[in-house]
């Protein structure tokens, strides 16, 4: 598959880029996509949730009432989970939610996600560009040129460009990433991929091995 290269003004150039079939033309593997997206979301979780259990509560351990003869259930200390102010039973504790995922599965997932976007014709190749200064209006004008202002977009750059990143930062539906940081979740979360021409070489270098 060949795609035309566009300027950020929306004008089509005379150049074309051929998509690598081993990356953008494979049969998508849905289970690999699911595992990699789950792996990404799990790694984003802080895992700092914590509650006080019975042993963490400050209070007397004196028996609240006598064992028999009250007509109600027996009760130990005021730390009991059954009483107000007592500890929680089996509450959440700080833990690491991340899990191991093989590199081959991650690579297959990214290829599958890119292949889906190629099949749906939601990939646009852009001529390499930069902004002289960080300006949100410039980024909005750039999106307007492709009629993508109301859609979720992911711009893939060959390397970090602070002027472009800062320009897009205030736009909820726009995200900018480097080719080396491209992941399955971001690809699928965006409705359209905008890939800088030089980024294609980086993507091939990482995924075509």
Question: For position 37, which CATH number holds?
Answer: 3.40.1370.10
pLDDT at 209 over 90: no
Same-domain pairing of 202 and 132: yes
Predicted confidence (pLDDT) at residue 208 exceeds the cutoff of 90? no
CB 82 within 8 A of CB 93: no
% of the chain surpassing 90 pLDDT: 79
Segment 92-113 shows an average pLDDT of: 94
Same domain, 177 and 122: yes
Full residue range of the structural domain in which residue 149 is found: 2-46+101-207
Q: Is the pLDDT score of 63 beyond 80?
A: yes
User: CA torsion sign, 140 to 142 to 144 to 147?
Assistant: negative
Distances (CA, A) of 79 to 7, 37, 65, 68: 68, 41, 13, 20
- Per the CB < 8 A criterion, the answer to whether 167 and 136 are in contact is yes
Helix (H, G, I), strand (E, B) or coil at 175: strand
- In the chain, the percentage of residues whose pLDDT exceeds 70 is 100
Look at residue 207 and tell me whether its pLDDT is greater than 80.
yes
Domain for residue 96, yes or no?
A: no
Question: Do 41 and 58 share a domain, yes or no?
Answer: no
What are the structure tokens assigned to 131, written together?
Answer: 């902004």
Question: For 174-201, how does the pLDDT look when each residue is reduced to its tens digit (9 = 90+)?
Answer: 999 999 999 999 999 999 999 999 999 9
Note whether 183 and 109 are same-domain residues: yes
Statement to judge: residues 10 and 69 lie in one domain: no
pLDDT > 80? residue 113? yes
- Looking at residue 76, what is its pLDDT? 87
Domains contained in the chain, number: 2
79 & 168 share domain? no
Do residue 116 and residue 158 come from a single domain?
yes
User: What is residue 179's DSSP assignment?
Assistant: G
Task: With cut-offs at 50, 70 and 90, classify the pLDDT of residue 75.
Answer: confident
Q: Check residue 1 and give its pLDDT.
A: 81
The encoded tokens of residue 123 equal 């990939």
Report pTM.
Answer: 0.81
pLDDT at 59: 87
State the average pLDDT for the chain. Answer: 92
Q: What digits encode the pLDDT tens for the residues 147-168?
A: 999 999 999 999 989 999 999 9
pLDDT of residue 117: 95
Tokens read off for 127? 């001529």
Residues in the chain: 209
Residue 166 lies in a domain: yes
122 shares its domain with 199 = yes
Chain center to CA of 33: 12
Average pLDDT for 15-25: 91
């Amino acid at each position: 598959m060949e795609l035309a290269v566009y300027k950020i003004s929306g004008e089509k150039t005379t150049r074309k880029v051929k998509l690598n079939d081993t990356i953008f033309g494979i049969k998508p593997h849905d289970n690999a996509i699911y595992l990699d997206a789950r792996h990404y979301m799990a790694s984003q979780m802080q895992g700092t949730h914590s509650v006080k259990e019975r042993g963490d509560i400050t209070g007397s351990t004196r028996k609240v009432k006598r064992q028999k003869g009250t007509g109600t259930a027996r009760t130990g200390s005021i730390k009991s989970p059954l009483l107000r102010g007592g500890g929680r039973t089996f509450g959440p504790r700080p833990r690491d939610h991340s899990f191991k995922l093989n590199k081959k599965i991650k690579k297959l997932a990214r290829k599958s996600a890119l292949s889906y976007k190629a099949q749906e014709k939601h990939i646009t190749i852009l001529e390499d560009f930069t902004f002289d200064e960080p300006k949100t209006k410039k980024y909005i004008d750039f999106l307007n040129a492709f009629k993508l202002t109301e859609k979720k977009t992911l711009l893939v750059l060959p390397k970090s460009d602070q002027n472009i990143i800062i320009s897009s930062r205030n736009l909820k539906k726009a995200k900018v990433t480097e080719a080396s940081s491209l992941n399955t979740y971001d690809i699928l979360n965006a409705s359209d991929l905008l890939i800088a021409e030089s980024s294609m070489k980086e993507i091939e270098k990482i995924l075509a091995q």
